[in-house]
Structure 1
Amino acid sequence: MEEREETEIECVIRRFSQCEKQGFQDMKIKLIGLALAGALLVASPASAMVLSVTGGTADTVPGNFNPTGFPGGVLIGDPITIFDSGDAGFGLSLSSAANLRFEFLGSEADFVNVFNSGGDLFSTATAAVGDVATVAAGGGFVPFSFLGGGSGGTATNGGPIDSPLLMAFADLGNNTFLAMFNDGGGPDADFDDLVVRVSVSQVPLPPAVWLLISAVLGLVSFARIRRQGQQAA
């Protein structure tokens, strides 16, 4: 009779059975380690760069930008990308689902401006430098907008952006950007009327990873129950 080729799952179960029969606990540990290492390899693409900017106009931080009170970030002359009312359909995007960390870095504005993401997170009237909020977001445009207290308009990431409002992004590396707002009050496009640091705080593991981990734990449990049954017999 022709021998049937052993499937991968049957091979794994057979090796676990050999571990139990021969008492090679270290072999079982190695198999678990290999499975978990495979899970990490599957998860590694999710840890790649997931924040990026598309569209806009390349420029530099203007000379009237006031970095006083901003803990880290950019300096005058550093590259930024500017967005205005003609840039709908472009902005800061996520390539996959992630938990986003928003940190209020300060404001130099006479108007009360607001940063909104599923609700008002930071107001220049009440927020303190270093205030943090975390928001779960799917892939696509990062869900946030600036509400201008001067003109009364709204600048939404990905559009629309009401004129004369402006926003800009500075890439700080390591999945971190500055979102910089200009409220249109006066002729100064200084982009320091509300500044927020946007970063990825956690990338969820893909469902396939959890499935693989569950399968490994199930095999371990199966082997333990089988051994206990043999001992009872």
Structure 2
Amino acid sequence: MTVPAPDPREVREASLDELSRLGLPLPPAQFPLVWEPGDQIELRPRPEIEARIAVLHLILARCFGMPPQAAMSWLLGSHLVEMVTPPEWQFVMGGKGDHRSFVLHHDALFALAWVLGLSKQLDPTLAVDERLVERLPHIAEGETFSRWQSRILAAPQHPADAAALLDLHYCLDWAYLETERGGLRAPGLVDANAIGQRRWALEWAVILRGPYHDEPPGWEEVDLST
């Protein structure tokens, strides 16, 4: 469902109000908007988001001891091999790559679960709700991707709500990094890495359409440099 994007300045004002409420520094006046007036927004197709959640969940299972042969078997049985990115594939099959960076995907998965309505909140002051694991594929028990899809009752967020949360995390990412650079404490239980992961997921899941937007990026192509 493609819908008109909300007024970016009104959304930004709400994001800055939230930063102020949390006691975080505010970005400079020239901090860019995420979209422009007149743009349109949509979410990636639900099956694509579900597949990304499943792959990230499998990668986390590998981080915590799942053998590569078992991981490969599950991917094959779930018909998800083509959804694994090259860096993810190297890690799943050979344990190559930055183990810590893959563990951090826990928060990206959490944000995607919120996009699909599997989690009711995405509070920047709260860590991932551990009860979420019950709503993810039961990989160790052999639940395939298709069986998981039929078990959950995904109710994706409205694109405008997801876009507003993307704008908030765009601002939060800057503010948390600035807080860490200043040696100050974050206002809650998560750090800049977690906020960055949540932003990564939202940047990928929310598709922006307009004259200044490129085609939606692949998972590994999401740009968090600004």
Q: TM-score, normalised by structure 1?
A: 0.24
Structure number with greater Rg is 1
More helix by share: 2
